């Protein structure tokens, strides 16, 4: 009898233990990121309240020996590309005008932070800084119109619809597809340099504008151009290991003129942010078309990224082939883009868990004190330690507004995936 009672008690204990509520997942890093972002954005909007400019980064300098070491080149081979910094501005906030390629990221970051918090003060600032970009709808001088207008007015259309937004985006998209050359099959990126018809991997990110406008208008022209550009890029921009060149220049007949870099270590290196643009762009293409060729390609790029990033915190060096030294700058912007892309990818593929785990590791590290700014510091930017264009001596180990944008987008995607609301964090 005693033996039976002991057995019963043991079984009861096992049942009680198994019925215990599993430990609640720790989302403190999510709340920390959102709270810092909200405070930093409010600080910044107060500081630049009377300006018609938008925050881009912080002015920083560089040492020539450092650049030579990073690039493995003598300074004479890239001296003409270096940009002199205004010494008196070092350490100060760098502002940019509405025609700068980064102009849409600050209002877009405000929109995402408003979406996450429901804070109407942030919404009003998002509206204000988005409206600054209204003249850009007529601009034809860049391929970056997607960054500029879809990140700003595109998010405004989601979160605060108005009758004018679709026409603004359509006019912008008309200007973007005017840069499409049907003989070549791609959208021209730059209007400068030695190239005949340069296309950069970054251009994959501007296709979302065309997909968006195609849905808004019901006009397939925009989507058709986006698909043709994506296929052309898929065919010529990538190496067998699915790493991407930065720049491909085409001859008038659509054949390749040059394969090289403008922002990476060398022509054959894997510039970190370029790989991020690539995986994000092809995930978007799959989302908008359902074409499995785009998904398969995105998965191959994603797996390449995971195989090449060797840093302990998964925040990559500015170029995957840069010297692996403590002095080599990281690129938090490349990491935040990958995190946002991988969160979406995790919802599409059967083995999505590995991509979500990778993204969450990035986001937890970006939300740590190593990368997340202290409130009132970092000139109001959210993240530290990004690299813009090292070979040009531009924005090296500094905050960047697009790092902040994709960090907030990743937080929004994660919150949506987990069914979380800010008030419950």
CB atoms within 10 A of CB 296: 13
Residue 375 lies in a domain: yes
Residue 19 lies in a domain: no
Catalytic residue among 65, 163, 202, 331: 202
What pLDDT is stored for residue 170 in this prediction? Answer: 98
- Reported as half-sphere exposure (CB side, CA atoms, 13 A), residue 237 has a value of 30
What pLDDT is stored for residue 172 in this prediction? Answer: 98
What pLDDT is stored for residue 12 in this prediction? Answer: 46
What pLDDT is stored for residue 242 in this prediction? Answer: 98
* Three-class secondary structure of residue 311 per DSSP: coil
What pLDDT is stored for residue 24 in this prediction? Answer: 80
Catalytic residue flag (residue 202):
yes
What pLDDT is stored for residue 52 in this prediction? Answer: 95
Distance CA(193)–CA(184), nearest Å, equals 18
Q: What stretches in the chain show pLDDT beneath 70?
A: 1-23, 84
What pLDDT is stored for residue 77 in this prediction? Answer: 79
Distance CA(187)–CA(179), nearest Å, equals 5
53 close to 100: Cβ distance less than 8 angstroms: no
Strands 93-96 and 54-58: antiparallel
- Provide the residue range defining the domain that includes 231: 41-424
Structure tokens belonging to residue 297 = 């390609």
Nearest one of 279, 280, 160, 150 to 215, comparing CA atoms:
150
Element (H, E) at 55: strand 54-58
What pLDDT is stored for residue 1 in this prediction? Answer: 47
Distances (CA, A) of 37 to 20, 190, 265, 390, 409: 36, 33, 32, 26, 12
Burial class of residue 149 (count of CB atoms within 10 Å of its CB; 0-12, 13-18, 19+): buried
Structure tokens belonging to residue 55 = 């925050």
Residue 59 lies in a domain: yes
pLDDT tens for each residue of 65-97: 999 999 998 888 777 778 767 778 999 999 999
pLDDT tens for each residue of 301-321: 999 999 999 999 999 999 999
What pLDDT is stored for residue 79 in this prediction? Answer: 72
Distance CA(81)–CA(102), nearest Å, equals 20
What pLDDT is stored for residue 74 in this prediction? Answer: 87
411 close to 85: Cβ distance less than 8 angstroms: no
Distance CA(47)–CA(29), nearest Å, equals 27
- E strand spans, 122-277: 180-181, 186-187, 198-200, 247-250, 256-260
* Three-class secondary structure of residue 181 per DSSP: strand
Torsions phi, psi for 199 (to 5 deg):
-130, 125
Distance CA(57)–CA(160), nearest Å, equals 27
Structure tokens belonging to residue 230 = 């994506």
Residue 230 lies in a domain: yes
Residue 373 lies in a domain: yes
| Structural domain total, the chain | 1
Give the orientation angle of helix 332-346 with respect to helix 352-366, to 10 degrees.
150
* Three-class secondary structure of residue 98 per DSSP: coil
Distance CA(201)–CA(276), nearest Å, equals 9
CATH of the domain at 297: 1.50.10.10
Catalytic residue flag (residue 241):
no
Element (H, E) at 95: strand 93-96
Residue 23 lies in a domain: no
Torsions phi, psi for 212 (to 5 deg):
-65, -45
Torsions phi, psi for 157 (to 5 deg):
-65, -30
Catalytic residue among 100, 144, 208, 319: 144
Residue 392 lies in a domain: yes
User: DSSP string of 185-219?
Assistant: TEE---SSSS-SSEEEGGGGGGHHHHHHHHHHH--
Distance CA(188)–CA(200), nearest Å, equals 9
Q: Taking the CA atoms of the chain, what radius of gyration do you get in angstroms?
A: 23
Rounded to two decimals, the pTM is 0.94
């Amino acid at each position: 009898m005693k033996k039976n009672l002991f057995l019963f008690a043991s079984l009861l204990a096992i049942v009680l233990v198994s019925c215990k509520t599993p430990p609640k997942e720790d989302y403190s890093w999510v709340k920390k990121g959102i709270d810092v972002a909200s405070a930093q954005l409010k600080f910044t909007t107060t500081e630049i309240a009377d300006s018609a400019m938008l925050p881009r980064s912080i002015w920083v300098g560089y040492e020539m020996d450092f650049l030579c070491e990073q690039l493995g080149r003598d300074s004479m081979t890239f001296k003409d590309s270096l940009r002199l910094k205004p010494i008196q501005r070092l350490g100060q906030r760098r502002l940019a005008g509405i025609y700068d390629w980064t102009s849409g990221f600050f209002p877009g970051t405000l929109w995402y932070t408003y979406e996450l918090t429901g804070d109407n003060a942030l919404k009003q600032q998002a509206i204000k800084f988005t409206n600054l970009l209204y003249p850009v709808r007529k601009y034809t001088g860049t391929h970056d119109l997607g960054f500029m207008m879809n990140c700003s007015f595109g998010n405004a259309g989601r979160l605060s619809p108005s009758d004018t937004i679709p026409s603004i985006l359509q006019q912008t998209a008309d200007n973007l597809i005017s840069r499409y050359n049907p003989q070549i099959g791609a959208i021209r990126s730059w209007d400068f340099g030695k190239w005949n018809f340069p296309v950069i991997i970054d251009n994959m990110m501007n296709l979302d504008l065309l997909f968006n406008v195609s849905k808004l208008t019901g006009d397939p022209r925009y989507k058709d151009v986006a698909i043709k550009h994506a296929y052309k890029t898929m065919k010529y921009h990538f190496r067998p290991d699915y790493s991407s060149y930065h720049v491909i220049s085409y001859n008038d007949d659509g054949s390749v003129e040059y394969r090289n870099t403008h922002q990476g270590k060398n022509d054959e290196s894997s510039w970190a942010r370029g790989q991020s643009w690539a995986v994000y762009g092809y995930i978007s293409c799959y989302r908008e078309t359902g074409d499995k060729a785009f998904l398969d390609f995105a998965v191959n790029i994603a797996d390449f990224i995971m195989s090449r990033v060797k840093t302990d915190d998964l925040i990559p060096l500015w170029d995957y082939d840069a010297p692996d030294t403590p002095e080599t700058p990281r690129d938090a912007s490349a990491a935040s883009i990958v995190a946002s892309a991988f969160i979406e990818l995790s919802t599409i593929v059967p083995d999505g868990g590995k991509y979500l785990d990778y993204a969450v590791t990035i986001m937890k590290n970006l939300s740590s004190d190593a990368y997340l700014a202290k409130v009132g510091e970092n000139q109001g930017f959210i993240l530290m330690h990004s690299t813009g264009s090292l070979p040009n001596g531009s924005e090296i180990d500094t905050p960047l507004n697009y790092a902040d944008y994709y960090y907030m987008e990743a937080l929004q995607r994660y919150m949506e995936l987990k069914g979380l609301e800010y008030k419950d964090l």
